[in-house]
Homo-oligomer: A and B are copies of this chain.
């Protein structure tokens, strides 16, 4: 079985590592000259809109999938002419436009934060009357890791925020004072069968996921599954889907969904019977889905910008390290560690030291970065 993947980052790399044991051949289409996934597959070095390259990939592959949602929908439509594309174009189209995504949630009676459509700067005033302050202005497209969004605290910040986002079509969204950020990873197979992982509780800083903790038997599990199931069914979805949620009291609000494997599910590699990567591949190739039973309780700590020494990360024997093979750079996810513990108590004994390690390395990188910029800018610090 030949599998084409759009994208060559760490998600593509982890998909390929899960695909090797299944006997799959993998090719990546990526505009990156040195994508980190290329270690475990062949690369077609091209832009996502390169019709010739897409045609070559589709001719080679039995199934094409993607590791992120910011690819042109027409590329999927072109691929779909000669290869199976899973998940399909509908899922991608909804996920890559915040307005369509909110409308889909509304159609499915999945609650969300309040929002208003912003097509022009002139829409902003009326929208804030409905939403109030603070609010978040988010571009409809191309947002990830906190990019493409600005918090607006008062009227005077509206115009600068609009300009900062480039005057693109956007939504203005209520700021939700949530108690927890959760996500649920679901997989649906070719025959419509679905499996769900235990929800993950997520902690972000500066818009980037830092810590994802698996929560078996969470009180919100059933509702999260029900919402995810509605999405899977409506989209006639095949593959892994991730739904991000906010918990506010006993309410669960959908934030967004990703039509793909997700950072908040990396703990499934060691922490679940079958990883999200393996289940995605099983789903899109028509194999039966694997069990999602957790192995104890697991948590994933992201390494952003810089990687602490391996021997320190692995000091606790319950810890596993994943290095993505990407050059260190501020704000860039370059690896993660997963702790698989027997209990939440044991987990709480290990995770803080990993978070501290991650933060210390990141802070050191920033200091070096600032120092470098200082030298260039004669003393002005960006921090």
Interface string of A303-325 (1 = CB under 8 A from B): 00000001100110111111111
| A280, CB-defined interface residue at 8 Å | no
**Minimum CB distance partner of A25 in chain B:** B39
Shortest Cβ gap from A336 to chain B (Å): 10
Q: Which residues of B contact A311 (CB under 8 A)?
A: 286-288
Q: Assuming the A-B contacts A23-B335, A286-B311, A317-B291, are A273 and B270 also in contact, with contact meaning beta carbons closer than 8 angstroms in the complex?
A: yes
| A20, CB-defined interface residue at 8 Å | yes
| A96, CB-defined interface residue at 8 Å | no
Is B20 a contact partner of A39 (Cβ separation < 8 A)? yes
| A216, CB-defined interface residue at 8 Å | no
Is B310 a contact partner of A21 (Cβ separation < 8 A)? no
Q: Which residues of B contact A320 (CB under 8 A)?
A: 21, 274, 278, 290
CA distance A287 to B325 in the complex (A): 18
| A289, CB-defined interface residue at 8 Å | yes
Is A325 a contact partner of B23 (Cβ separation < 8 A)? yes
Q: Which residues of B contact A322 (CB under 8 A)?
A: 21
Q: Which residues of B contact A278 (CB under 8 A)?
A: 320
Is B40 a contact partner of A273 (Cβ separation < 8 A)? no
Q: Which residues of B contact A270 (CB under 8 A)?
A: 273
Residue of B282, B323, B324, B325 near A314 (CB, 8 A) is B282
Q: Which residues of B contact A319 (CB under 8 A)?
A: 290
Is B273 a contact partner of A289 (Cβ separation < 8 A)? no
Q: Assuming the A-B contacts A22-B310, A40-B20, are A288 and B317 also in contact, with contact meaning beta carbons closer than 8 angstroms in the complex?
A: yes
Shortest Cβ gap from A225 to chain B (Å): 17
Shortest Cβ gap from A155 to chain B (Å): 49
Is A323 a contact partner of B21 (Cβ separation < 8 A)? yes
Write 11 A-B pairs (CB below 8 A) sorted by A numbering. Answer: A20-B39, A21-B321, A23-B310, A23-B335, A273-B340, A287-B314, A290-B314, A290-B317, A290-B319, A290-B320, A291-B340
Q: Top 6 closest A-B pairs, CB basis? A: A23-B323, A291-B317, A21-B322, A295-B295, A288-B314, A291-B318
